[in-house]
A and B are shown apart, each in its own frame.
Chain A
Amino acid sequence: MHELSLSSAIVDTVIRHARGRRVSTVHLQLGALRQVVPASLEFYFGVVSRDTVCEGAALELDLIAALMGCGECGTEWDPAPDPLHEGDPAMMLPQFRCPACGAAGAEVLAGNELLVDSIDVEDDGPGDVGPPLPSHSPNSLMTGG
């Protein structure tokens, strides 16, 4: 359900960078820890982008697996359930405690991304459109949800 809130945040970010140019594609890095359902995000992106420069734009998702790093022993692991260990119920559940030394407090090395990496815009002239609008513009204060 938070895909609606996140879609609004994505569209607001894109609008500030598009500076009035029509957007054809939005390239988004999406980490596994964001708990986002891609199909749901794409649906709400289509809804929220109506009547904006993003209307009709494609949302290209670069899905990034989670990676944890243990500060105690240096082990790096993906906390997602591991389907290769189907016989072992414990391995079929997510695991954020270090599987090697049992330490808590591991660092998230990857998987938290909700990053608008780039946008493809339709440009009809060589003119410089200037820097992105500041994030405190009224548009960016809408968050949806």
Chain B
Amino acid sequence: MHQTKVKVAEDALDANTTIANANRHDFDHAGVAVVNLMSAPGAGKTTLLERALEARGDVRIGVLEGDVQGSFDADRLSALHVPVVQVNTGNGFGGECHLDANMVRSGLGDLDLHELDLLIVENVGNLVCPAEFRIGEDAKAMICSVTEGEDKPLKYPLMFRSCELVVINKTDLLPHLDFDVERLIANIDRINPEAEVMQLSARTGEGTERFNEWLFAIAERRPRDAAAVEA
């Protein structure tokens, strides 16, 4: 028995990337754009999506809902008459705290991607693991709410760096809190100076038009060849 060194030189997340690329291929083929929406638990992902779905107009939207357990969020969004698929991550090792490319793939069979312009993936509430796993999305966005603390970008830089949009939610609560929005924005700028930042209240609806515009514009990122197939 002797020791042999085997050169590997492989990113540990390559297996996930391979499946993410397969998802991407399917999304391109169907002409659907995909947004990966992430946040800590309770930041307001589902409420913000409810506002967006109410305003969707002609944009054909589907939702893939990731939760460790239950279908509470999926039930809320189904009430708005859009196709919603629930992916529960509780079957994994100890209950998965994120959606990875393969879990997303497992839910795609229940959606008719060709009937969608935009698929929104509502990830499991968590500011750490979801940032690691590409799912084949066009854009990653995150919500942080003003009840969470101004230092969150410094504590979770991986998440804040992975997103092109940071939504600051629950601004209707600001009069009741000692929260320094400018300090939060300065911290986001330190960690991800390229991120677009918008403030809104999903509860009152104030500022949500801007988010909806951003979201529906993602649908325009659908590949041209798919658009040509449709025409």
> A residues touching B (Cβ–Cβ < 8 Å)?
1-2, 4-6, 8-10, 12-14, 17-18, 21, 24, 28, 33-35, 48, 93-97, 104-105, 114-124, 132, 135-136, 140-145
Contact = CB atoms under 8 A, between A and B. Distances in A.
A136 B18 contact: yes
B129 A2 contact: yes
Is chain A's binding surface mostly helix, strand, loop or mixed? mixed
A116 B12 contact: yes
B3 A13 contact: no
Contacts, number: 145
Contacts of A12: 12, 15
Contact of B12 (A10, A35, A94, A120): A10
Nearest to A48: B93
Nearest to B18: A135
Contacts of B94: 4, 144-145
B10 A121 contact: no
B102 interface: yes
A123 B4 contact: yes
Nearest to B124: A145
A28 B129 CA distance: 19
Interface string B81-110: 000000001001110111010100000000
10 contacts: A1-B97, A2-B98, A5-B129, A9-B16, A13-B14, A97-B189, A116-B8, A116-B9, A119-B8, A132-B8
A12 B18 CA distance: 14
Interface residues of B, number: 45
B98 to A, nearest CB: 5
Interface stretch (B30-38, B154-162, B212-220): B154-162
Given A1-B97, A2-B129, A93-B187, 17 more contacts: A1-B129, A5-B96, A5-B98, A6-B12, A9-B13, A13-B15, A35-B157, A96-B191, A104-B193, A117-B9, A121-B3, A124-B1, A132-B8, A135-B18, A143-B102, A145-B100, A145-B129
A13 B8 contact: yes
